A and B are shown apart, each in its own frame.
Chain A
Amino acid sequence: MTVLNHPPSEVDLFALKTRALNLRRKMMMMASGKGEGYIAQGLGMADCLATLYFHEMRYDPQNVGWRERDRFVLSTGHYSIAMYAVLAEAGVLSADELPTYGLNGSRLPMSTFDETPGVEMVGGSLGHGLGQAVGMAMALKLDGSSARVFCEFSDGELQEGSTWEAAMGGATFKCDNLVALIDCNGIQADGPVTVRIDPVADKMTAFGWETLEVNGNDIAALTRALAASREKNGKPKAIVMRTTPGFGIPTIMARDRAHFVRIDNSEWTALIEELERENG
Chain B
Amino acid sequence: MAEIQTGTMPGRTRGMGELIDIAGKVTEIAPFGRTLAELASERSDIVGLTADMGRYSDILPFRDAHPDRFFNVGMAEQNLIMIAAGMAKTGKIAYCTTYSVFITRRAYDFVALACAHSMANVKIFAGMPGLVNGYGATHQATEDLNMMRGIADLTIIDPCDATELKQVVRACADIPGTVYVRNLRGKVPVELGPDYVFEVGKAKVLRPGRDVGIISTGYMSARALDAAAQAQENGKDAGVLHVPTIKPFDAKTVLEFASRFDRLVVAENHKTSGGLTSLVIETLYDAGIAKPLIKIGLEDSFFECGSQEYLEAKYGVDTPRFVRAIVEGR
Contacts and interface: CB of A to CB of B under 8 A. Distances in A.
A27 to B, nearest CB: 16
Nearest to A108: B305
Interface in B4-24: 5, 9, 11-13, 15-16
Interface stretch (A48-56, A139-147, A155-163): A155-163
B135 interface: yes
A262 B15 contact: yes
B252 interface: no
B12 A34 contact: yes
A122 B75 contact: no
A159 B76 contact: yes
A112 B56 CA distance: 20
Contacts of A194: 52, 72, 74
A103 interface: yes
B310 interface: yes
Interface string A258-269: 001010000000
Contact of B75 (A34, A123, A189, A260): A189
Interface stretch (B100-108, B154-162, B198-206): B100-108
Interface string B118-141: 000000000000000011111100
Contacts of A105: 304, 306, 310
A256 to B, nearest CB: 12
A176 B160 CA distance: 53
Interface string A158-182: 0111000000000000000000000
Interface string B48-82: 00101111100000000000000011111011000
Contacts of B11: 103-104
Q: Which of A77, A102, A193 has the most chain B CB atoms inside 10 A of its CB?
A: A102
A207 interface: no
Contacts of A193: 74
Interface in A9-41: 34-36
A117 interface: no
Contacts of A125: 101-102, 105-106, 138-139
A184 B79 CA distance: 21
B307 A104 contact: yes
Nearest to A188: B52
Interface string B236-259: 000000000000000000000000
Interface in B135-151: 135-139
Nearest to B102: A125
Nearest to B105: A125
Interface in B73-105: 73-76, 78-79, 101-102, 105
Interface string B16-50: 10000000000000000000000000000000001
Given A104-B310, A159-B52, A188-B52, A111 B15 contact: no
A110 B138 contact: no
A102 B139 contact: no
A84 to B, nearest CB: 13
Contact of A111 (B9, B52, B305): B305
A271 B139 CA distance: 30
A43 B105 CA distance: 31
A251 interface: no
Given A125-B105, A159-B75, A189-B75, A104 B138 contact: no
A190 B52 contact: yes
Interface of A: 34-36, 77, 102-106, 109-111, 113, 122-127, 156-157, 159-161, 188-191, 193-195, 260, 262
22 contacts: A104-B305, A104-B306, A109-B135, A111-B136, A111-B139, A122-B137, A124-B135, A124-B136, A125-B102, A125-B106, A126-B75, A156-B75, A157-B75, A159-B76, A160-B75, A188-B74, A189-B53, A189-B56, A190-B50, A190-B55, A195-B73, A195-B76
